[in-house]
Each structure stands twice: as structure tokens, then as C-alpha cells.
Chain A
Amino acid sequence: MLGNSLLLAIREIRRNVLRSFLTILGIVIGVAAVIVMVTLGQGATAQVKTQIESLGSNLLIVRPGQRMGPGMSADAARFTLADVTALRREVPSLAAVAPGTSQSMTAIVGNENWSTTVTGTDNAYLLARNWTLAAGRAFKDGELRAGKAVCIIGATVRKELFGAQNPIDQRVRLKNLSCEIVGLLQDKGQSSMGMDQDDLVLMPIRTVQRRIKGDQDVDVIYLSVRAGRSMDRTIADVERLLRERRHIGPFDEDDFSVRDMREITNMLAGTTTVLTSLLGAVASVSLLVGGIGIMNIMLVSVTERTREIGIRLAIGAREDEVLLQFLVEAVVLSSFGGLLGILLALGTSLLLAGMLGVPFILDGGIIALAFLFSAAVGIVFGWVPARRAARLDPIEALRHE
């Protein structure tokens, strides 16, 4: 019986190709919109995650003071290089411990000048922050110990000051300090927060402390947890050590904070997920509209085909057979719309993913869901017209003009 209904439905759809196509257009667009939104959204989420991982996914950032707000950290004591040494010695699950002290400065080369951030650190910074060198070398131990005027520059600084020229062994002037460029960092691009990660100058920390800032402070410590070690255990170890070194009583709060990049990862990924769901929900409204379109056309079709239904009833079609025929017709229409929508979505997603530079991530689940939903739309919105057709009085139907 289902096979027969399928046969009749396909014959009917074939008789009215243009109208059938227009009927399902709403479903096609609805399904395509949902899949495109979700596909691009998932691509964007994946992209955000990769970008954050490029910051160093097992990165911990330790700052003095509990909060990040301006002024809040003023009364908390800075770290010292002794703290860095202690962390290196006492917490074996850390792969890298890098001190950091930063200052905004204007870098000058010839007639070019560029305002950037100078960070005093050591070679562990490269490891902790996932930097690789595009050219040149890292700092030598002697340079670090003696606080020599050498620096490693980011790709943006190189572009602004040197253009396409090779910056290695050139000199850059920072205030009254003339500094030799020994290395160039591989570019990372924009961070997911929209900051240019390549706009930086690295210098041995002692150079910055003595010759630029004139203090012994370490503003921030970057920690990289060894692969396979527990993030939470390491954070606890770091906190215990620092509390001890900073003489914090057992009932006092920390006067420093250890921040975990996973927080940021989850927050940003969460944002894109919410956005994806939101866009998907908006797109699914068009599926609903498509369903109403199918119902409308099916109702028109039942009225228009009243006589045909009369003929079918007269030659012995039962109510349930007529019902099934119209229902199957609606479901075939909407499923076909779903299939076309999926094809359209694949094409559009590929195209848009290419244009927006977002990775193309195909989710079989959402495609199956969209298809099932389109078939369900056919059942739900085909039901009323089909029942109306099945309940027609054959005599009235045959008389219908």
C-alpha cells in the first residue's frame, strides 16, 4: 500500500514539476539555512579553539593581585626572579617558567617609528607562549645574565620598521637604548580577541629591569604545564609554593592569581556555540514557514483535485488509501526539499567557509536531523489536507467543477 502511494505521489509530483519545486522551495531554503549556519558556526568555534591553543593551551599566567581591574593590584607585592627560580626548582610538572615585565615604548629605526610593547623575559617565554623563530636566534645565556641590549622582534614590528628588509643584526632604538636585533618571531596573526599578537619586542629581563624600568620587579610569570600532567594539580602546587614564599597566612586570601587558558577557551567557544544555536534557531523558523507553504499548496491541491479524489473514491479507493496518498505526497515533497536543501547547504557552506576563512566542518548529525525534520514537516503539515481529501463525499467530489 505504501509502495502504491509512493507511485501515485511521484506521478503527481512529476505532473506538476514547477509547482512542486516552488512548493518545496521554503523547505529547501530552511534546511540549507540551518545547515549552513551550524556548519559555519562549528567552523568558527573550531577556529577560535585553534587560535587559543596557539597561545599555549597548557599556559598558566600568574599575576600579583587578585583581580585584573585597574589599581587592584597596586598594593600586592611584585614577583621577583627568585620566585621564578623557585618555581623552576620546586614544581616538576612545569615544562617552562618565564618571567615577564612589560613597558610600552616607541621603537625607532631611521625615519620609521612604531609604538609597541617591550617585554623583558628569557628563552622560556618562547616555549611557554608557543613562539617559534622565523629567523635569527634566541638569547644567549651570557646576554641574559649580563642584561645585554639585544632583542627579538615580532612580525608586525619588523613590517612597520623594516618592511621587507632583513632585520637581523640591525639596530633599533628604544628611548636612549640602542638594541641589536638577534631574532625574528614567526607570525601568529590576530588573537581571537582581536589583538595583534605579533606586535611585540622581547628583551632579556635584566636589560629591561636595569636599563628601562629601573626596578627588580617581575610583573607576570608565564608557566607551561608539561603534557600529560594535571592542570589542576599543577595550579595547586604553584599556589602552595607562592603562598609560602609570600608569607600568606592559612586564613588569608591569595594576593596573586593563577589563570588558566582553558577558561578563556571555554568562554570563547561557548560564545560561538550560543551564537550558532541562535542563528540555527532563526534559520529553523524558515523551516516552519516552508512547512506552512507545503500545507497551503496541499490544501489548494486537494481543492483543485476534488474531482480526481471523487474518481478515486468511486473506483474503490478507501479513505485510508486516499489519506496515505496525500500524506505520502506531502512527505515525498518535503523530503525532496530536504535533500535539495542539504545539497544547497553543502555548496554554500564550502563557498562561504572559503570566503570567510573558516574551516569547513561537516556534521553528519545536523544533516540527518535537518532531513528528518523536513520529512516530519511533511507529515505534520500534510495531515490536515490529506484528511480533508480522504473525507470528501464521492458524489459531491465527482460533481465538483
Chain B
Amino acid sequence: MHPEATTGAGPAAQRAGTDAEHRAVAAAPGSPLIELRGVTKVYGSGSAAMHALRGIDLTIGAGEMVAVMGPSGSGKSTAMNILGCLDTPSAGSYRFRGLDVDAMSRDQRALLRRHALGFVFQGFNLLARTTALENVELPLIYHRLPAAERRGRARAALAAVGLTGWEQHTPAELSGGQQQRVAIARALVTDPDVVLADEPTGNLDSARSREIMDLLRAMNREHGITVVMITHEPDMAAYAGRIVHFLDGLVACEAAPVADSAAAHAGADTGAPAPGTGRR
């Protein structure tokens, strides 16, 4: 990215224009992409305090595809919110490309999300009554790109997830699988460093789930985008290069995925599905 600008990176960094925005979120050289050290998160206080995270250490390198698993209440969603710079740790440190996220202001974290992060949610979270194209354009509006370029990139992103021809459809006119592909296109369109996916296949049947996982893995392999995803299903976790298990607010164990049918199946097929195949 902009290694020469590392000295300017930090809480005091300028945010006047897009270049300055990039500089503010530029990497410190030699740092891992994501580094959590002793991260805790406590909701409430006193005897009513709820310890969602009790001290997480986690390092994720650029280009990895990581699955986060664990039962409900194990703190994996809280950890994802912290990784996504939507929330801050109660204690411990979170460094993103060497930048101290804890010290950032709300607006600086917004800029970090804008330039370096992409989100895919279980519930898709597309804007209702808004066409697929406009949904994908949305992050680019905050990048202040000219309309023509914005539209071109959004079309390209939709094409990359196999939705050419569906640009003018609203979410209500799309199937769940198609909606999630629009969401992936939206995450992809800004060319982020990391895509954070919170149970991306939670609302989909197994065939659609595999299509989505294929897309995420293609993003990871072909574009070098780091993917961190939460999932309950071992089949889906098997797509990842690494699985992190959460339990009671701690990292219980890390493991390489067991090679199973899903992984084998997925490996054979990295091409995006044809338009309309996801339609119910």
C-alpha cells in the first residue's frame, strides 16, 4: 500500500481527502495483518458484569482464510465486532496492520472499515427497495468515486459473483443465495484487505451455502483477500485454511480443517454459478 506514509498513520493522521484517508489506514511494515493480544470485553459492571471475552490472543496473516467456530455465547460474535472495528476491547490491544485500533476515534475506525474491511452478514443486510447495483455502489459512494467509475466497478463486482443481468433487481426480487452474493459483491467492490463474514450461510440451504463458500474461497485465492468467517457448520469451516474454536470467551484450540467431502467438492469448483441458478 503506502509504506512511506507509516509515520503519519495513527490517531492524529490527516483525513482531508481520499489519499489522506488511505494514508491514515496504511500498514506498518512487517506487522501481521490482524493481531489481538489479551483482548477482553466486559458488558455491564459489578456483579452484573458479563465477560464476553476473557483474554483472546489471535494472529491472522494476510491471505489467510480462517473459520471461527464455537457455541452460542462463546464470544465469537463479540470478537468479530472487534475485528471489524465496530466495537473496542475493554482491555488488551488490537493491531490492524500494526495500527493501534484502540487509540483510533470513531471516525478513524469508520475510515479503516471503508478502506480495508468488507462485511458479509448472516441476514444479508442489503438496503430494501434498492437495486442490486445501487447496493453494491453504496460503499463506493463513500469513496467519492465519479458515478461512471462507481457503476462500472459495481457491475464488475456483480459479474464476479455471477449476477450479471440482475443489476436492477431489488433484494425482494432475489433469492437468499442471490442476496448473499450481492452482499459479497458489496464487500468485494472496494477491494478490501479483509472480509469479515458472520455466519454467511446461516440462512441458506446447503447447495446455496456451498456456492457462497466457493465465492469466498475464490476471493481469498484469486484476490488475496483475507477472509475471517464465523460458522456453526463443520462442512463450511472445512473451506477455511485454519479453524479457531471459541469457548467461554477464550480461544479453546486451533486446528487445520479435516479434509472431507465438502472441501474436496469445493476444491473442484471455483467458478461462479451462472446467473439465476440461486433463484428459488
From known contacts A11-B130, A307-B125, A398-B125, infer whether A315 and B138 are also in contact, taking CB-CB under 8 Å.
yes
Contact B142 A311 (CB under 8 A): no
A8 within 8 A of B: yes
Given A1-B144, A4-B144, A8-B141, decide whether A315 and B130 contact each other with a Cβ distance below 8 A. no
Contact A317 B125 (CB under 8 A): no
Residues of B within 8 A of A321 (CB): 142
Cα separation A4 to B140 with both chains bound (whole Å):
10
A160 contacts B by Cβ under 8 Å: no
Of residues 54 through 91 on chain B, the ones whose CB sits less than 8 Å from some CB of chain A are 81, 84, 86-87
* Chain A contacts for B125, CB-based, 8 A: 307, 310-311, 314, 398
Q: With an 8 A cutoff between CB atoms, is B110 at the interface?
A: yes
- B:122-150 near A, CB below 8 Å: 125-130, 134, 138-139, 141-142, 144
- Name B106's contact: one of A15, A307, A319 (CB within 8 Å): A319
Instruction: Tell me the complex Cα distance, A313–B138, Å.
Output: 11
Q: In the complex, which residues 355-401 of chain A have their Cβ closer than 8 Å to any Cβ of chain B?
A: 394-395, 398
A300 close to chain B: CB less than 8 A: no
**Is the CB–CB distance between A395 and B110 below 8 Å?**
no
User: In the complex where A8-B141, A314-B84 touch, is A308 in contact with B107 (Cβ < 8 A)?
Assistant: no
Given contacts A315-B113, A315-B138, A316-B142, is CB(A15)–CB(B107) below 8 Å?
Answer: no
Interface contact A313-B110, CB-CB below 8 Å? yes
Q: What are the residues of chain B within 8 A of A7 when measuring CB–CB?
A: 141
Question: In this assembly, does B166 line the interface, its C-beta being within 8 Å of a C-beta of chain A?
Answer: no
Q: What CA separation (Å) do A320 and B111 show in the bound complex?
A: 12
Partner of A315, one of B87, B129, B134, B142: B142
A88: Cβ under 8 A from any B Cβ: no
Tell me which residues across on chain A come within 8 A of B134, comparing CB atoms. 11
**Are A395 and B186 closer than 8 Å at their CB atoms?**
no
Q: Does B114 contact A (CB under 8 A)?
A: yes
Please report the C-alpha to C-alpha distance between residue A318 and residue B111 in the assembled complex, in whole angstroms: 7
Question: Is residue B94 within 8 Å, beta carbon to beta carbon, of the partner chain?
Answer: no
Within 8 Å by CB of A394, from B86, B115, B127, B129, lies B86
Asked if B130 and A316 make an inter-chain contact with CB atoms under 8 angstroms apart, the answer reads no
Task: State whether B107 touches A395 (Cβ < 8 A).
Answer: no
**Chain A residues whose C-beta falls within 8 Å of the C-beta of B81 in the assembled complex:** 395
A312 within 8 A of B: yes
In the bound assembly, the distance between CA atoms of A1 and B114 in angstroms comes to 15
Q: B110, A317: Cβ atoms under 8 Å?
A: yes
B112 surroundings in chain A (CB, below 8 A): 316
Question: Nearest chain-A residue to B121 (Cβ)?
Answer: A398
Whether the Cβ atoms of A316 and B106 lie closer than 8 Å is: no
Q: Which of A1, A8, A11, A315 contacts B119 (CB 8 A)?
A: A315
Partner of B142, one of A310, A317, A395: A317
Known contacts: A4-B144, A314-B86. The answer to whether A319 contacts B119 by CB under 8 A is no
The residue on B at minimum CB distance from A401 is B123
A316 near B139: Cβ-Cβ < 8 Å: yes
Chain B residue nearest to A15 (CB atoms) is B129
A-B contact count (CB 8 A): 64
Is the beta-carbon distance between B138 and A395 smaller than 8 angstroms? no
- How many residues on chain A are close to B (CB under 8 Å)? 23
Most chain A CB neighbours (cut-off 10 Å) among B84, B87, B127: B127
State A109–B172 Cα separation when bound (angstroms): 88
Contacts A7-B141, A394-B86 hold; do A318 and B107 have CB atoms under 8 A apart?
yes
Report the nearest A residue to B110, measured CB to CB. Answer: A318
With a CB–CB cut-off of 8 A, which chain A residues contact B121? 398
User: How many Å from the CB of A360 to the closest CB on chain B?
Assistant: 43
Residue of B nearest to A325 (CB): B141
Q: Bound complex: CA of A307 vs CA of B127, how far in Å?
A: 9
Contacts of A319 in B (CB 8 A): 106-107, 110
In the complex, the answer to whether B87 meets A395 with C-beta atoms within 8 Å is: yes
Contacts of A314 in B (CB 8 A): 84, 86, 113, 119, 125
A315 to B112: give the CA distance in the assembly, Å. Answer: 9
Collect the chain B residues with CB atoms within 8 Å of residue A308's CB: 127-128
- Closest B residue, CB atoms, query A16: B129
Contacting residues of chain A (1-32) with chain B, CB-CB under 8 angstroms: 1, 4, 7-8, 11, 15
CA distance A117 to B64 in the complex (A): 109
- What is the distance, in angstroms, from B99's C-beta to the closest C-beta of chain A? 15
B111 contacts across to A, CB distance below 8 A: 316, 318
Q: Which residue of A has the minimal Cβ distance to B145? A: A4
Asked if residues A316 and B141 are in contact (CB atoms below 8 Å), the reply is: no
Instruction: Select B114's contact among A310, A316, A394, beta carbons within 8 Å.
Output: A316
Shortest distance from the beta carbon of A9 to any chain B beta carbon, whole Å: 12
Bound Cα distance A395, B127 (Å): 16
Name the B residues within 8 Å of A316 (CB-CB): 110-115, 117, 139, 142
Residue of B112, B142, B186 with most partner-chain A CB within 10 A: B142
In the complex, A318→B113 CA distance in Å?
A: 10
Whether B186 lies near A315 (C-beta < 8 A) is: yes
Taking each of A7, A310, A395, which has the highest tally of chain B beta carbons within 10 Å of its own beta carbon? A395
Which residues of A278-296 are within 8 A (CB) of B? Answer: none
A1 to B15, CA, bound (A): 13
A315 adjacent to B114 (CB under 8 Å): yes
Closest B residue, CB atoms, query A310:
B125
A14 to B32: give the CA distance in the assembly, Å: 45
Question: How near does chain A come to B144, taking the closest CB pair, in angstroms?
Answer: 7
Residue of A nearest to B198 (CB): A398
Give the interface of A toward B (CB within 8 A).
1, 4, 7-8, 11, 15, 307-308, 310-321, 394-395, 398
18 interchain pairs, CB-CB under 8 A: A4-B141, A11-B130, A11-B134, A308-B127, A311-B138, A312-B142, A314-B86, A314-B125, A316-B111, A316-B112, A316-B113, A316-B114, A316-B115, A317-B114, A318-B107, A318-B142, A319-B106, A319-B110
What residues make up the interface of B, taking CB atoms closer than 8 Å to A?
A: 81, 84, 86-87, 106-107, 110-115, 117-119, 121, 125-130, 134, 138-139, 141-142, 144, 186, 190
List 11 additional contacts besides A311-B138, A315-B186; criterion CB under 8 Å.
A4-B142, A8-B141, A15-B130, A311-B126, A313-B86, A315-B114, A315-B119, A316-B112, A316-B117, A317-B142, A321-B142
In the A-B complex, the 5 residue pairs with the closest CB atoms: A316-B114, A316-B113, A315-B139, A318-B110, A318-B107
